[in-house]
Structure 1
Amino acid sequence: MSVIVTRTDCPPPAKAVSGTASQTFGPNHRWKVLGIGVAANAGFSATFSGVPATAVVMRQGYQLDDASLGLALGLLGLGVALSELPWGVVTDRWGDRRVLLTGLGATAAWLFVMAMLVVPTKGAIPGVTLLSASLLVAGLLGGSVNGSSGRAIMGWFREGERGFAMSIRQTAVPLGGGIGALVLPSLALGFGFAAVFGLLAAVSALSAVFAWRWLHEPPAEGGGHVAATAGPAPLHNLEVWRISSAIGLLCFPQVAVLTFASVFLHDFVGLGTLATSASLAAVQTGAMVMRVWSGRYTDRHGNRRPFLRLCSALSALAFAVLWLLVLTAAGRPALMAALPVVLVVAGIAVSTWHGVAYTELATLAGPGHVGTALSLANSFVFVGFCLVPIAIPGLLHLWAWPGVWLAAAGCALIAWPIFLRPA
């Protein structure tokens, strides 16, 4: 590996060209950039996956019914969905460093405000409107993390190792979510939501410090840069829209696990807080391991599309088995005991593919458009984070838990043909 690390995919903004071109970086600097991407995504994942893991405690502490709880958690996802694409476009124009620093700093500040003002106390309990609006703003600010960190990693790593690098970055989502699932419910029970939001604010602030220290735009080879407009714009590329929509669809069942699995395990299976947290942490740990493996595997075999179709099929099958077990488990202790295991397997199956899909999408988008393309996909993803928690209470009212898991299986099955390579 050369001492000078170069990238041609994601150009620095025009104002930064002269200042960045003279910088040199050690041969291992790209791993620092990857570490920053993991830290930033893990911190925000602890927010958008960890806060829903406190659903049972939040429902009690804020005195919410299931519909209000779903609305509050859904608006967190809506905030990210609304802001992802604008943040991505800005990233392609401003560069990774400026956007990531701005977003992480603003997210940390807002979570600190929530820790001070939007928590239940002995004197007052914030209403669902204030809680929902606050989570919406947190999502709007946190949407800066995904596209900017992904653009940085795609630029610093070469073809043949990008799938592995992006999959490692995507392990940050289950890593942060798993830590959040283990820590935040107990923290909320023992110290209240001021401690929850305060800890999340500190994590975002620490990630901002790492980004300030090590995240830089690398110099382009030979002093030139690929124009930001090179290749078809991703918003006019039908194949980019296809893959983005499939990514969003396949995230719907994953979001169902992240947002309401704790309620399912508590209300239907009868697990306590510790066992519920352990089950959700097992989902996130398994997903993290499988994402790293899938990135290396598809880099070596060049089979991203077939792998994505396989993940869709396995996810549909796993949730169909969960649906069948829920239908037949009443009064059968052995089947009830199997439900958490099947839920963990289904959650891992539907969380394995992210790094592979984002690498395929970024490759399709072409030079100069990585931030926009990744943010487009994440907009679809967080539409799911908005709609799924709002829809689940309705499904529970109409068809109970079998309806929820059957709908999850259907979404995974619909995604399968979209991953077919066009003629």
Structure 2
Amino acid sequence: MSQQLTTSPVAPAATPLPVGRSGRTHSPRYKWGILGIGVVAQAAFSAAFQGIPMASAVLQSDYRYSTGQLGLVLAALTCGAAVTEIIWGLLTDRFGERMVLITGLAGTTACLAAATAFLVPTGGYTPPSWLLSAVLLLAGALGGCVNSASGRAVLGWFPPGNHGFAISLRVAAVPLGGAIGALALPALAMSVGFRGVFGFLTAFALVATVVIVCWLDEPPLPAAGHRNTTVSPLRRWKIWRISLSAFLLDFPQFTVLSFAAIYLHKVHGVGITAISGLLFVVQALGAVSRVWSGRWTDSRGGRHRRTLVIAYSWIIAACFVGLALCQSGPAWIAAALMVVAGLLSCGWHGVHYAEIAIMAGKERSGTALGLENTMVFAGAFLTPLIIPGILSATNWPVVMLLIGAVPAVLSAVVMPREGK
């Protein structure tokens, strides 16, 4: 008589829960919490360095600064970030994201609190432009930590197949913070003055610092005895070329973010409230573009990131040529061209950052993102310094060509092609 054997189905092994560098075990959804922390930190800093220029017309009036002094103040935050980005990237790769973010954002909060208390016009006193610039320079130098540190944390917690999408979501916090600044800061400046502006930014930075202290755990370190043999991003020419394209694309971006308000108001007579709304649209659509591009390129195995950046560059150049030609044209055409140029010049960052971080590898991504952000903030720093000089010697059409169109064309040429 035959004997029938039966076997019980074997349950699949449970997926191990992720363990952070602190040794704590986390839910599989914890990576989304890390992404949220990165978004809050980045948005807090972005609201300052992109939001203050959106209130530039009110700042110039309230502080009674010349165009040159205004350019110095607007450039200070970005200059501070530019000179420290590589340092923050190297420190992040060496000591981890948590220490870097807490140190930098706590310092930024303190600087903005000092501006709130001591650097606003009161009665007959107007703070000198050099002093306001110095405090904002220090705030930028400390706040620049969020760019490489939060990006590295996101890259460490997400699996490779989602790197482009995750980095794009984190980078979308830049226009998100800029959109918050575009809505809040000009309104605060006109209603309660710049004490309200700096007070709002201080509170935002403080919230980001508390969130990091309470909830950020770092991704686990490599196994004991692991030796990092990856070539430093600073020694790879292709990574330098990608960073240089980011530097060039920053000129059209910050032409829009820093001087669109003044251009549209003085040349085409557009009201401050309408300009605020247009710049909000630029930032919001720029954020959507960053997320969409990261998702789209991830769905194609990470291909076409460079091609997308090149296509954006050519369209941006065409928009600025249009702006140069419509100096005396209808305001709505100038506004439409400015919005398209602005949203695309704010929309390339997601795939750009993902490409350079993935090329460098997780353990070197802090340095690569630091290099990228050095270039980004260098362009953001130089743009508001160069434009007043060109304006004093020529006119707005020349600005649109030299600072908008030409750098965008050069970016398309410098960016390495796919597979090269």
TM-score of Structure 1 vs Structure 2, range by shorter chain: over 0.9
Residue in 2 that maps onto 1:90: 91
Q: How many percent of aligned residue pairs carry the same amino acid? A: 43
Instruction: Answer yes or no: is 1:393 the counterpart of 2:388.
Output: yes
Residue in 2 that maps onto 1:131: 132
Paired AA for residue 277 in structure 2? A
Q: 1:104 to 1:226 in 2, by over 3 A?
A: farther
Distance in 2 between residues matched to 1:324 and 1:377, nearest whole Å: 33
Residue in 1 that maps onto 2:250: 251
Instruction: Answer yes or no: is 1:275 the counterpart of 2:270.
Output: no
Q: 1:90 to 1:299 in 2, by over 3 A?
A: same
**Conserved in 2, the CA contact under 8 Å of 1:187 and 1:195?**
yes
1:224, distance to aligned residue in structure 2 (A): 4.6
Distance in 2 between residues matched to 1:273 and 1:342, nearest whole Å: 18
**Conserved in 1, the CA contact under 8 Å of 2:316 and 2:345?**
yes
TM-score for the superposition, normalised by structure 2: 0.93
Residue in 2 that maps onto 1:345: 340
Instruction: Answer yes or no: is 1:409 the counterpart of 2:412.
Output: no
Distance in 2 between residues matched to 1:380 and 1:153, nearest whole Å: 21
Larger radius of gyration: 2
Paired AA for residue 158 in structure 1? P
Equivalent residues in 2 for 1:266-345 (5 A)? 266-301=265-300, 302-326=303-327, 328-329=328-329, 335-345=330-340
Paired AA for residue 342 in structure 2? G
Distance in 2 between residues matched to 1:350 and 1:209, nearest whole Å: 32
Distance in 2 between residues matched to 1:413 and 1:4, nearest whole Å: 47
1:261-300 Cα deviation digits (max 9, x unpaired): 1111111111222111001101001101111111100111
Residue in 1 that maps onto 2:74: 73
109-118 or 123-132, which deviates more: 123-132
**Conserved in 2, the CA contact under 8 Å of 1:166 and 1:355?**
yes
Distance in 2 between residues matched to 1:219 and 1:259, nearest whole Å: 40
**Conserved in 2, the CA contact under 8 Å of 1:3 and 1:25?**
no
Q: 1:167 to 1:47 in 2, by over 3 A?
A: same
Paired AA for residue 132 in structure 1? S
1:138, distance to aligned residue in structure 2 (A): 1.2
TM-score for the superposition, normalised by structure 1: 0.92
**Conserved in 1, the CA contact under 8 Å of 2:51 and 2:180?**
yes
Residue in 2 that maps onto 1:260: 259
Distance in 2 between residues matched to 1:194 and 1:148, nearest whole Å: 30
1:351, distance to aligned residue in structure 2 (A): 1.4
Distance in 1 between residues matched to 2:353 and 2:255, nearest whole Å: 21
Secondary structure of the corresponding residue to residue 356 of structure 2: helix
**Conserved in 2, the CA contact under 8 Å of 1:252 and 1:381?**
no
Q: CA RMSD in A?
A: 1.6
1:338, distance to aligned residue in structure 2 (A): 1.6
**Conserved in 1, the CA contact under 8 Å of 2:88 and 2:144?**
yes
Equivalent residues in 2 for 1:30-45 (5 A)? 30-45=31-46
Q: 1:225 to 1:282 in 2, by over 3 A?
A: farther
Residue in 1 that maps onto 2:3: none
User: How many residues get paired?
Assistant: 403
Residue in 2 that maps onto 1:332: none
Distance in 1 between residues matched to 2:16 and 2:104, nearest whole Å: 31
1:3, distance to aligned residue in structure 2 (A): 4.6
Equivalent residues in 2 for 1:175-214 (5 A)? 175-214=176-215
Residue in 2 that maps onto 1:56: 57
1:197, distance to aligned residue in structure 2 (A): 0.7
1:2, distance to aligned residue in structure 2 (A): 3.6
Paired AA for residue 340 in structure 1? A
Distance in 1 between residues matched to 2:261 and 2:148, nearest whole Å: 29
**Conserved in 1, the CA contact under 8 Å of 2:290 and 2:348?**
yes
**Conserved in 2, the CA contact under 8 Å of 1:226 and 1:368?**
no
Secondary structure of the corresponding residue to residue 161 of structure 1: helix
Secondary structure of the corresponding residue to residue 160 of structure 1: helix
Secondary structure of the corresponding residue to residue 163 of structure 1: helix
Moved over 6 A (4+): none
